[in-house]
Chains A and B, each alone.
Chain A
Amino acid sequence: MIKFDDFSFSYALSDTKALRHIHLEIPENKITVLCGKSGCGKTTLLKNIKDEIAPAGEKSGQISKTIASGEISMVFQNPDTQLLCGSVLHDLAFGMENRGFSQNTMRKRMAETVCFFGIEPLLNRSPETLSGGQKQLVALCSAMMTHPKLLLLDEPLSQLDPIAQTHFLETLKRINEEFSVTIVLSEHRLHEVLPFADQIGMMNEGILAYYGEPKSVLKTIVDDDDDAFLHFVPDIAKASLRLYGKVALTPRELKSMVTKVSYQKEEPAKKKTDEITSCKDLVFSYPHAEAYVLKRLSLTINKGEFACVFGGNGSGKSTLLKIFAGVLKGYSGKIRGKADRVSYMPQNVNAYFLSDVIEDEIWFEGCDAAYYEALISDLGIKHLLKRHPYDVSSGEAGRVVLASVLLKKPQLILLDEPTKGLDPESKETVARLLKESGAAIFMATHDLEFAAQYADRCLMLFDGDVAYEDIPQHFFKENRYYTTSLNKAFRHASSDVITYEDVLRL
């Protein structure tokens, strides 16, 4: 359908090539996933497929297409910039209106497509009132209105929580299976996407390094011990390759391989630490809301611990962080023993940036110069220092904020979904730096694998209160739905297997 023939591309005013000698044939009616760390060129590749949004720059080689540009639709990464009108209905109609469809055609397509997606209840709502997952689903529905033959999606899942991700992917799968729409999707977390992919391409620095059927690509990467891509291989696949020499993509596949495992994790020694801050009987609700966000919530944050708080959308995770950060105040209840230096990283990192240059954002008068150097080189943002904060990818922006937060050497760090948009390699660095900082870390997240690996304590927020809390080992062990994919695969044999490190010890 689309064929790249020795295609290279460099952006206008840039010396480095964003894409180098790409040979790629996108098969018809299949789902192709492009993977690689932020800034590897996957978005550039996608944009070059549709003429209207092809970036300006120098091209060499060829892209041959068998379909018209009008038959290609695109869904972007940021749910906020894709819905432009005051109501969902108008957004859905927008693409059709632009193409000058007649009233009858629009009505017909609207009726059937909206039914297929099951989003009738959202039609009259304003996009602002929707959750990230709903917004992305509306954006997808809107893209489908024009009956495209090829659907391009640029990291559509990166801003969504796991439940919304699964729902979105399932919808994509249905679109592909029922209407034979060819799908090309870029993503850096393969874990959720792989079971749905027919082909995957792994990219690094503008080069398409691997391309093929998911299982064989993953096997080659692990067999070659290719450091550049090893991070991207999901735990399930790594574990199955290591233990059984075959690739599994879902917990079910791995479970069928697991026969007998005897593994018991040691109980970690209980550490007694002093509390740094705590809240007692905290109550909060937003104006005009129908229910309390936090309902007599009490919890303690200890010195130097790494605590992760989970919970569905709107469970009050962000609100809780904002209260600890001093942005919001509870209606009643107390905050005790405020930490001296508190740093807060918002969910949308754009809200953090105040300067024109990244360097000014991080560096401040009287900071620890050696630590500064160490941070920027470890986080891989040294080459970005002179750039504008908005000029870098979302993963890089997240790392910039972390550097700024850490350099202040705070006692308490509050993080609102910091791993959103980070590629697996950066996640490891971030976790290490956070642990080394010695600060108490209180982090809201949906990233179960990350928490299982690094957290000292996990908390679950539900109905405005902490439903339960425990060390990760116990927290995940007892859960059935809210647990890591490895645990799901191994639980019938030994429920102590939670992270890949546990697998290594088998």
Chain B
Amino acid sequence: MEVHKGFWQRCRQKNKLESAFYGMHPGVIFLYFVGLFAFVFMWNHPVFSLTVMAFILLLDALYVEKYKMMSAFKGFWIVALLIILINPLTNHRGTHILFYLSDNPITLEAFLYGVSTSVMIFSMFMAFLVFNALIDSERFLFLFAKFFPKIGFITNMSIRYTSVFQKRAQNIIDVAKTRGIEVNSGKFRHKIETAGHLLKALISWCLEEGMMIAEVLKAKEYGQKRRTTYNRFKLISADICLAIVLVLSFTVNTSLFYYGAGQYAMYPRLLPLAFDGYDLAAYCVMIFYLAIPILVEFFYAWQRRKNRTV
């Protein structure tokens, strides 16, 4: 059966652990995302930014659950609409006037600028989804704990206790209900009072636990010496190779950017899209960079297949 699997199926593993790029060292994955986010903001040439968006959507499809993507789409269209509408209303720069709205010129430049801004924000938004999928809280902490050991631990603790306190709140509401105290009944004023009462109970509970936690921290000798951090992630030569490739291609891209590649000015006057040699070089390197996760998946899928036949 495996043999008949298409390229896409082989790359998109149901279990995240089976995907090769997820298995890389978190530092390398983080490095990739640094470049990716830079690309979202660096280029304002429409061809470039649309390509970046396309690749980000491809990554989303690879690593993010469908329902998360759908809810992101649902949440985003209204933001995009607002940006596209508001920019031309408040910004009247540009020379291509579409029409007048009570003496105010609505320009094509401002409209297109709104569109490109929302493409940028959309790309960033969707890139964060992949980022969250590939750099989960544990990996994030690992990356940060090195530089800020205390902040790392505190973040870790907050992640745990946010959900604990959510459960607590539900627990308090439930028990209060059996004592005849309901949050969702009565007049508005009454509702607010009850909610405040229950919130106070929750806070007392949390503070009380805070005291116990403080004691546990003391017993575990927290803050007496400089902390070290337990490292679960192993750096292997493949990670280093990939890191070098990432850094090299990113450097090439930034230097081309420095020479004006991938730039397109909408203000003060919309010009026809130009695409010169620099642009083409930057575009090719950028596509290579963006495709790295897919190349990695493909490489390992190919290797797996080769190993299986032995």
Binding site for B on A (CB under 8 A): 50, 52-53, 70, 73-74, 76, 78, 80-87, 89-90, 93-103, 106-107, 110, 126-128, 142, 322, 325-327, 342-344, 346, 348, 350-354, 356, 388, 390
Task: Flag B159-177 by CB within 8 Å of A: 1 or 0 each.
Answer: 1100110011001101111
Q: How far is the CA of A278 from the CA of B168 in the complex (A)?
A: 29
Q: Is the CB of B228 within 8 A of A53?
A: no
B205: interface (CB < 8 Å): yes
- Would A85 and B208 count as touching, CB distance under 8 A? no
Interface membership of B229, Cβ < 8 A:
yes
B306: interface (CB < 8 Å) = no
Q: Which residues of B contact A388 (CB under 8 A)?
A: 204
B219 A84 Cβ-Cβ under 8 A: no
A-B contact pairs, 21 of them (CB 8 A): A52-B219, A80-B164, A80-B209, A84-B217, A86-B141, A86-B156, A90-B156, A96-B228, A96-B230, A97-B149, A97-B228, A97-B229, A98-B220, A102-B228, A103-B228, A110-B230, A128-B164, A346-B175, A351-B168, A353-B201, A354-B201
User: Which residue among A81, A85, A343, A356 has the maximum number of chain B CB atoms within 10 Å of its CB?
Assistant: A81
A78, A80, A90, A93: which has the most chain B beta carbons within 10 Å?
A90
Q: Chain B residue with minimal CB distance to A74?
A: B219
Give chain A nearest CB distance to B139 CB in angstroms. 11
Q: A93-B230, A98-B227, A103-B231 are in contact. Are A390 and B172 (CB under 8 A)?
A: no
Quick one: closest B residue to A127, CB to CB? B160
Collect the chain A residues with CB atoms within 8 Å of residue B227's CB.
Answer: 97-98, 100
Residue of B nearest to A344 (CB): B178
Q: Does B215 contact A (CB under 8 A)?
A: yes
With A327-B174, A346-B171, A352-B175 in contact, do A81 and B231 touch (Cβ < 8 Å)?
no
Could you say which of A52, A74, A99 contacts B225, with CB atoms under 8 Å apart?
A99
A84 near B216 with CB under 8 A, answer: yes
Q: A76-B212, A81-B216, A351-B171 are in contact. Are A86 and B159 (CB under 8 A)?
A: yes
Q: Which residues of B contact A343 (CB under 8 A)?
A: 178-179
Minimum CB–CB distance for A70 against chain B, Å: 7
Mark B246-281 against chain A: 1 for CB-CB distance below 8 A, else 0.
000000000000000000000000000000000000
B213 within 8 A of A: yes
How far is it, in angstroms, between the C-alpha of A294 and the C-alpha of B256 when the chains are bound?
66
Tell which of A99, A102, A327 touches B178, judged by Cβ atoms closer than 8 Å: A327
The one of A53, A81, A98, A348 in contact with B223, judged by C-beta atoms closer than 8 angstroms, is A98
Say yes or no for B224: interface residue by CB 8 A criterion: yes
Residues of B within 8 A of A73 (CB): 219
Tell me if B222 counts as interface (CB < 8 A to partner A): yes
Shortest B63–chain A CB gap in Å is 19
B204–A390 touching, CB < 8 Å:
yes
Q: Which residue of A lies closest to B137 (CB)?
A: A86
Of the candidates B153, B215, B224, B230, the one having the most CB atoms from chain A within 10 angstroms of its own CB is B230
Q: How many A-B residue pairs have CB under 8 A?
A: 132
Residues of B within 8 A of A85 (CB): 153, 156-157, 160
Chain B, residues 223-240, CB within 8 Å of chain A (1/0): the string is 111111111100000000
Q: For A325, give the chain B residue with the smallest CB separation.
A: B178
Is the CB–CB distance between A354 and B174 below 8 Å? Answer: no
Given contacts A53-B215, A78-B212, A86-B159, contact A94 B220 (CB under 8 A): yes
- B205 with A390: CB separation less than 8 A: yes
Question: Interface centre among B153, B181, B217, B219, by most A CB within 10 Å?
Answer: B219
Nearest chain A CB to B53 CB, angstrom units? 32
A327–B156 alpha-carbon span in the complex (Å): 32
Interface residues of B in 25-45 (CB under 8 A from A): none
Q: Does B221 contact A (CB under 8 A)?
A: yes
Given A97-B227, A351-B168, residue A89 in contact with residue B232 (CB < 8 A)? yes
Q: A100 CB to closest chain B CB, in angstroms?
A: 4
**The residue from A83, A93, A95, A346 contacting B221, defined by CB atoms under 8 A apart:** A95
Tell me, in angstroms, the Cα distance from A74 to B201 when the chains sit together: 29
Measured between beta carbons, the chain A residues less than 8 angstroms from B177 are 326-327
In this assembly, does B305 line the interface, its C-beta being within 8 Å of a C-beta of chain A? no
B85 → A minimal CB distance (Å): 39
The answer to whether A354 and B160 touch (CB under 8 A), given A106-B230, A390-B204, is no
Q: What residues of B have a CB within 8 angstroms of the CB of A86 in the complex?
A: 137-138, 141, 156, 159-160
Given A76-B216, A352-B175; 18 other pairs, CB 8 A cutoff: A52-B218, A80-B164, A84-B157, A85-B156, A86-B137, A86-B156, A89-B230, A98-B221, A98-B222, A100-B228, A103-B231, A110-B230, A128-B160, A128-B163, A142-B220, A343-B178, A346-B171, A350-B205
Closest-by-CB residue of A relative to B164 is A128
- Do residues A106 and B213 form an inter-chain contact, with CB atoms below 8 A? no
**Alpha-carbon distance A346/B159, docked complex (angstroms):** 26
A451 CB to closest chain B CB (Å) equals: 23
Minimum-distance CB pairs A-B, first 8: A93-B230, A344-B178, A81-B212, A390-B208, A351-B171, A327-B174, A100-B225, A74-B219
Contact (Cβ within 8 A) A87 B138 = yes
Q: Which residues of B contact A354 (CB under 8 A)?
A: 172, 176, 179, 181, 197-198, 200-201
Query: How far is the CB of A435 from the nearest CB of chain B, in Å?
Result: 22
* B160 A81 Cβ-Cβ under 8 A: no
Residues 109-158 (chain B) with a chain A CB within 8 angstroms? 137-138, 141, 149, 153, 156-157
A53 CB contacts on chain B under 8 angstroms: 215, 218-219
Alpha-carbon distance between A142 and B219 when the two chains are bound, in angstroms: 12
Question: Which B residues lie within 8 Å of A106 (CB)?
Answer: 228, 230
Q: How far is the CB of A408 from chain B (nearest CB, A)?
A: 9
User: Which of A89, A102, A327 has its CB near the most chain B CB atoms (within 10 A)?
Assistant: A327
Minimum Cβ distance to chain B for residue A380 (Å): 22
Question: Interface readout for B179-205 with A: 1 if CB under 8 Å, 0 if not?
Answer: 101000000000000000110110011
User: In angstroms, how far is the closest chain B Cβ from the Cβ of A108?
Assistant: 12
B174: A residues at CB distance < 8 A: 322, 327, 346, 351
Beyond A98-B225, A101-B228, A106-B228, whether A76 also contacts B208 by CB under 8 A is: no
Query: Shortest distance in angstroms between B158's beta carbon and chain A's nearest beta carbon?
Result: 9
Q: Specify which chain B residues have a CB less than 8 angstroms from the CB of A126 in the assembled complex.
A: 160
Which residues of A have CB within 8 Å of B232?
Answer: 89
- A457 to chain B minimum Cβ distance, whole angstroms, is 23
B228 engages A52 (CB within 8 Å): no
A122 CB to nearest chain B CB (Å): 15
A122 to B165, CA, bound (A): 22
Bound Cα distance from A350 to B208, whole angstroms: 10
Chain A: minimal CB distance from B205 (Å): 5
Tell me the chain B residues, 16-67 only, with Cβ under 8 Å from chain A.
none
Verify A342–B221 contact, CB threshold 8 A.
Answer: no
